[in-house]
Amino acid sequence: MFNHVKIGDSPLWLQKRLWNAGMRPINNIVDITNYMMLMYGQPLHAFDLDKLNGQKLYIRRAEKNEELVTLDGQKRDLRSGEDIVIATDEEALMLAGVMGGLNSEVDENTENIVLEGAIFNPSLVRATARRHNLHSEASARFERGVNWDATFTALDHAASLVDDLAGGQVARGRVTAVDTKRDNIVLSLTAKRVNQILGTQLTLENIALFFKQLAFDYTNDGASLHVTLPARRADMSIEADLIEEIARLYGYDNLPVTLPYGPTTPGKLTLQQRQIRASRHIMESLGLNQAISYALTTPLKAQQFAEDRTAKVVSLDYPMSSDRTTARQNLLAGLLEDVAYNINHSVHDIALYEQGRVFIAKDNSDELPIEIEHIAGVLTGNYETSSWQHLKKARAVDFYDIKGIVSAYLDQIGVENVRYVATDRHSNMHPGQTADIYAADVYLGFVGQIHPLLTKSQKMAAVFGFELNLFAVMAAAKSDVQYNKISRFPQMSRDAALLVDESVQHAVIETVIRGAAGSKLVDITLFDVYTGDNLPHGKRSLAYSLTYQDNDETLVEAEVNSDFERVTDALVKQLNVEVR
């Protein structure tokens, strides 16, 4: 406690030392506390005694709904039970170890002050500084640990400077709230252990000289050294820390260089890693270039193409900027940003894919979010450009181009029984050109055209995209390597023109054909669709070519005819089609 202090500017020598350390001089009292922090690494804080109204000071955890206006003028909502505060009976005065409060600030009218110095839990100070985005010089030191032995020394030195520079009357003695003694840490170390780790030939006497250089207290019993870790070295706690100090002083360049010895375990990729790598290779072989987008975005874009748009988003406590506040729940939104960027830079024919993780928040906000691997792609512009050589015109990409890429990828990665179901449940996708993708009954993702209202607002041409749950794809893929044997025997084909209801989908017809056909059917091709005149209302004509082949022998005409008849009978019975 100090009475009758005179607040004013610090002497020039003190101001220069603060300037050289990158700190701004404020007044003699505050400058003294900052100077002690630089000299001893011990943050101190000065309270205006008269503003305390004679109340006692307490160190406690913040209470529910408690607020504090810090010295930077910001109101802080304190976290109950987690933030440490120094307080009176009535209110909190400062965020302990981080920043003081405006209600007890030392200003030009201050006459009596109290100096406070303490050791705070580094983890709690670090959490408070991050929670309030308030990283101060004091918190930086408390987070890393301060010297337990320097607290009273710093206070005594500060008291002397207050007497010299502020004319304060220093009260006798100290008020000690808690005086927790630090337990000495004594570690034993042998020369054999040091040489085993560093590969050196040091003696115990050589090692002792290093600790003498460091001013560490130790005893040598002839077999080992017993080293007492000083309070000023909060970074040291285990044997490895001592050996690291020995290596540093001995010189890293002086350590012998040796080859590894003993059994080694060759590394390899896991099945999941191999599948992810294969996914990238397949996408690139299909003509797509890899894009890497930000995993952080806005809340709107985070859920733009998400499967469950009602799911909670993962928001950052301390975002870098206002447009990077939320962890993404889809990849397509980021790819759409990449498309817009390229178009703005006069690149119009775009084929991109991205593989990465999306983040789904759990109901309990304290739990880590669920991370799911996704893969997505986009196409826009022209699939083919015009050429005088072949007298062809440019052709814009369409739904079947992006669907063909998805089909080829799933086929090459080893997913079978894939089916596409038309859907309009994705609000940001074109309702007439979007399909959900299933492997049997397992949902994999969706493919289709980005909704025109979304692309036109950004002055884009039609954009087609897909997004797949890569974990679901990998679970459905065959784990062993697959290949199709090339047959040396000729193929046979049969054509069928079917009159079907407009509501019957091609995927359903293909499923019926494959279910009824035998093992010799190798390909189904839809080569004509007719919806013009001379057809009954609500009907359309679909023409299919069925290709048969045997890997072991030449097909027999009767066998193919029998199989084809079985297929047409199944179509008539199950889908009520008319074979024309």
The residues near 433 (Cβ < 8 Å, ≥ 6 apart) are 399, 448, 449, 464
State the DSSP code for 70: B
- 228 or 367, which is more confident? 228
pLDDT digits (tens, 9 = 90+) for 403-435: 999 999 999 998 988 889 889 999 999 998 999
pLDDT band for 82, please (50, 70, 90 cuts).
confident
pLDDT band for 34, please (50, 70, 90 cuts).
very high
Averaged pLDDT score across all residues of the chain: 89
Tell whether the torsion through CA atoms of 251, 254, 260 and 262 is positive or negative. Answer: negative
3-state secondary structure of 27: coil
pLDDT band for 219, please (50, 70, 90 cuts).
very high
pLDDT band for 551, please (50, 70, 90 cuts).
confident
Rg for the chain, CA atoms, rounded: 37
- For residue 50, give both structure tokens: 């008269």
Q: Is pLDDT of 368 > 60?
A: yes
Q: Is pLDDT of 363 > 90?
A: no
pLDDT band for 23, please (50, 70, 90 cuts).
very high
Q: What's the pLDDT at 457?
A: 85
- For the chain, which domains are there? 2-170 (3.50.40.10), 185-254 (3.30.56.10), 271-476 (3.30.930.10), 492-579 (3.30.70.380)
Measured distance CA(314)–CA(327) in Å, rounded: 5
- Please name the amino acid found at residue 292: I
Rounded to 10 degrees, the C-alpha dihedral 62/65/66/71 comes to 110
Q: What's the pLDDT at 388?
A: 61
500: which strand partners? 540
Measured distance CA(76)–CA(133) in Å, rounded: 10
Q: What's the pLDDT at 468?
A: 96
pLDDT digits (tens, 9 = 90+) for 244-301: 999 999 999 999 988 877 888 888 898 889 999 999 999 999 999 999 999 999 989 9
Over residues 336-341, mean pLDDT: 94
3-state secondary structure of 29: helix
Rounded to 10 degrees, the C-alpha dihedral 164/165/171/176 comes to -110
Nearest Cα neighbor of 103 from 89, 92, 114 is 92
Binding residues: 235, 241, 244-245
Q: What's the pLDDT at 391?
A: 57
Measured distance CA(91)–CA(68) in Å, rounded: 8
Q: Where are the beta strands (DSSP E) in 452-575?
A: 463-469, 492-501, 521-530, 539-548
Pairing assessment for the beta strands 58-61 and 84-87 based on DSSP bridges: antiparallel
Q: What's the pLDDT at 337?
A: 93
Cα 226 to its chain centre, rounded Å, is 44
Cβ atoms of 461 and 348 within 8 Å: the answer is yes
Q: Is pLDDT of 157 > 60?
A: yes
pLDDT band for 386, please (50, 70, 90 cuts).
low
Nearest Cα neighbor of 148 from 183, 98, 177 is 183
Q: Is pLDDT of 145 > 90?
A: no
3-state secondary structure of 18: helix
pLDDT band for 27, please (50, 70, 90 cuts).
very high
Residue with tokens 């003028």: 73
First-to-final CA distance of the chain: 105
Binding residues for Mg(2+): 235, 241, 244-245
Long-range contacts of 434-441 (CB under 8 A, 24+ apart): 435/403, 437/406, 437/410, 437/466, 437/468, 439/410, 439/415, 439/472, 439/473, 439/476, 440/476
pLDDT digits (tens, 9 = 90+) for 94-132: 999 999 999 888 988 899 999 999 999 899 999 999 888
Q: What's the pLDDT at 548?
A: 93
pLDDT digits (tens, 9 = 90+) for 341-362: 999 998 989 999 999 999 998 8
- DSSP secondary structure string for all residues of 74-114: -EEE--TTTSEEEE-SS-EEEETTTEEBGGG---TT---EE
3-state secondary structure of 225: strand
Burial zone of 12 (CB within 10 Å; 0-12 exposed, 13-18 middle, 19+ buried): exposed
Nearest Cα neighbor of 62 from 88, 81, 89, 86 is 81
Measured distance CA(57)–CA(70) in Å, rounded: 17
Helix then strand count (H, E) for the chain reads 16, 29
Cβ atoms of 472 and 409 within 8 Å: the answer is no
Nearest Cα neighbor of 36 from 52, 47, 50, 23 is 23
Q: What's the pLDDT at 229?
A: 92
Over residues 529-542, mean pLDDT: 86
Measured distance CA(466)–CA(397) in Å, rounded: 14
Cβ atoms of 75 and 49 within 8 Å: the answer is no
- For residue 121, give both structure tokens: 């839990």
pLDDT band for 389, please (50, 70, 90 cuts).
low
pLDDT band for 483, please (50, 70, 90 cuts).
low
- DSSP secondary structure string for all residues of 437-471: EEETTEEEEEEEEEPHHHHHTTT---EEEEEEEHH
Measured distance CA(88)–CA(63) in Å, rounded: 13
Dihedral pair phi/psi, residue 516, rounded to 5°: -90, -30
Nearest Cα neighbor of 521 from 488, 494, 484, 557 is 494
